[in-house]
Amino acid sequence: MAEEEEEYSVEDFENSEENAVGEVDSAEEYTEEEYPTEEQAEDFGEEATSDESSEEGSENQEGNEENWGSTITVGDTTYAVGLFWMELQNLSDPYPEVQESASQIVENGDLFCVYRAATPQYGVGSSAEGHKKGMPAAAAAVAESFSDLPTSVAVFKVNSGWWFLVVRNDVILSEDDVLYKTEEEAKKAFMDMMSVPDWDRRICPAEWGVEGTQDIPIEKFLKSKSVKLISIYKSNVKKYAMIGGGALLALIMLTKMCSEPETPKVQRRLAPVRRQVQEVVEEEEFSFVETKPWEKIPVSSDFMNRCYAGIMHIKSMVIPGWEVGNVFCTPKGLSTSWTMKSGHLGFLRRGFEEYGTAGMDYVLSDSGTSAIVSVSLGDIQLKSEYPKYSVSESREYLVNIFQAINQKINLSEDVLNVTIPIPGKKADGSQNTINKAYKRLTFSFDSSIDMADWLSVFNEFPALELKKITYSIEKNMWSYEGQIYEPTK
């Protein structure tokens, strides 16, 4: 029911996986002929890449001054490294999940692979960085070999540098699949991890002379090439965003609560989190114009997009020995807390340096065992939308929807009292004012349903203002708080 986008079936993913992620015996299965032509690219929903642009990308990569790379060659096989790894929620149909987050975690992210472990993960790569469709993922192959000792840290000397990999409890850490071009950087990353006491296995070059480590050639662990990069796009198929089996919007339609306006969707390519720039604005002449509370409220889709981007960034952060709490998001910004469980403060500082983004700040406690993190969401779009429903009508519609899906919602009637200046002065010389009261229905609820689906519900209520979104990483649960204004008489 809901918004028509692209539909994917379990069979579609399994078929593509058999073709692109199946076990192979040959050294390299991918060829240039496998890439789509410009005509085929339109069907696949991706841009075709010509030989000239590929050569240009290679030149750009060679000229890159960064201290890390994207591929390693072992024997006659080229492997993809430097992927960004995240936990996969929907193993049977990963495409929507991958497409939604790929552009946020990797610049120009257009390729991915699936590592089917006890905790399924997907790794995101970029053809602009030198990754190619059909390349086996080195991290997945080594992590699979690490299954006997699933908490391991390793640096392997390879043809193009020093490859650093961290696996904890069979989970590849998000940003610890890194090919360093300098030995100094690789050794620093390895030694930082050595302070964590519970490693099952520690691997590094023997010449480093690190006690308690082994020097094991990478060939011993690269036994499988079954996890390969494929495109994040699907061909010639459509998907439908379902909301609890289609219940939510169907109920809204049945209530006849409004005419059937076109409902905007949450943009899947989420807005980046940027630091809000403070501008100096000259004071304007005082104006006695009443500004009603619903004339400057955040656009729900923009607010939700920015919250989601910031929350997913926080969720992707893996800092050894430190635990993140709930993440809170308001139009003023995002905040959360980190608490030390083991290790020391150096892990947190290094983590914030590596995962830092524009607009991120943190404040340490006096003991140095906890920190409050804040992230600016930038300038959220505002809108003016006149209310349509009375408090009692909004209450009835919401109760009807939530009862039908057996979902709890908290509702209460509230009054916003505002003092408005008007022309003229009082006897004591102070400004004349009048008091205005605006009725509103406040609501709050918890849900594990996708955020994009709730946007369709929120958009059915003119003058609805989202005040706060909270995400529990531990429970994978979203909480929403907001209010719906009533028209003035």
Give the DSSP per-residue string, 14-47: HHHHHHHSS---SS----GGGSPPHHHHHHHTS-
| Residue from 212, 211, 194, 213 nearest 321 by CA | 194
**CA-to-CA distance for 195 and 198, rounded, in angstroms?**
9
| Residue from 460, 443, 456 nearest 389 by CA | 460
CA angle 24–26–28, rounded 5-degree value:
95
- CB–CB of 234/95 below 8 Å? yes
3 state SS of 182: coil
Tokens of 283: 């004071």
280 backbone φψ class: left, alpha, beta (φ>0; ψ -120 to 50): beta
**CA-to-CA distance for 288 and 77, rounded, in angstroms?**
73
| Residue from 124, 302, 304, 143 nearest 218 by CA | 143
pLDDT recorded at residue 362: 82
Residues 6+ apart with CB under 8 A from 467: 330, 331, 481, 482, 483
Tokens of 77: 């096989």
**CA-to-CA distance for 109 and 175, rounded, in angstroms?**
14
pLDDT recorded at residue 406: 87
- CB–CB of 104/56 below 8 Å? no
- CB–CB of 121/178 below 8 Å? no
CA angle 220–221–226, rounded 5-degree value:
130
Phi first, then psi, for residue 108 (nearest 5°) are 60, 30
Cα 51 → chain centroid: 32
Cα 339 → chain centroid: 22
CA distances from 64 to 60, 61, 128, 298, 350 (A): 6, 5, 12, 40, 24
pLDDT recorded at residue 96: 86
Residue type, 122: Y
* DSSP codes, 112-146: EEEE-SSS-EEEEE-GGGT--TTPBBHHHHHHHHG
Tokens of 148: 């006997």
pLDDT recorded at residue 358: 62
Per-residue pLDDT of the chain (489 residues), as tens digits, is: 444 444 444 444 444 444 433 333 333 343 333 333 333 333 333 333 334 434 444 444 444 446 788 999 999 999 999 998 888 888 888 888 888 777 666 778 899 999 998 889 999 999 988 999 999 999 999 999 998 898 899 999 999 999 999 998 888 987 789 999 999 999 998 988 886 767 889 999 999 999 999 999 999 999 888 899 999 987 544 333 344 444 555 555 454 444 444 433 333 333 333 333 344 444 444 455 667 899 899 999 999 999 998 898 888 888 889 999 999 999 999 999 999 998 888 888 888 787 766 667 888 888 889 999 898 888 899 998 899 999 999 999 999 988 988 889 999 998 988 888 877 787 788 888 888 889 999 999 999 988 888 998 999 999 999 999 999 998 999 999 999 999 986
* DSSP codes, 332-378: TEEEEEEEESSS-HHHHHHHHHHH--TTEEEEE-TTSSEEEEEE---
3 state SS of 312: helix
pLDDT recorded at residue 42: 37
pLDDT recorded at residue 122: 92
CA distances from 481 to 113, 411, 470 (A): 36, 10, 9
The DSSP H or E segment spanning 326 is: none
Cβ neighbours, 10 Å, residue 442: 16
**CA-to-CA distance for 315 and 311, rounded, in angstroms?**
6
pTM of the model: 0.44
**CA-to-CA distance for 380 and 453, rounded, in angstroms?**
20
- CB–CB of 265/298 below 8 Å? no
Residue whose token pair is 């429903």: 389
No. of H helices and E strands in the chain? 11, 22
Tokens of 112: 């991915």
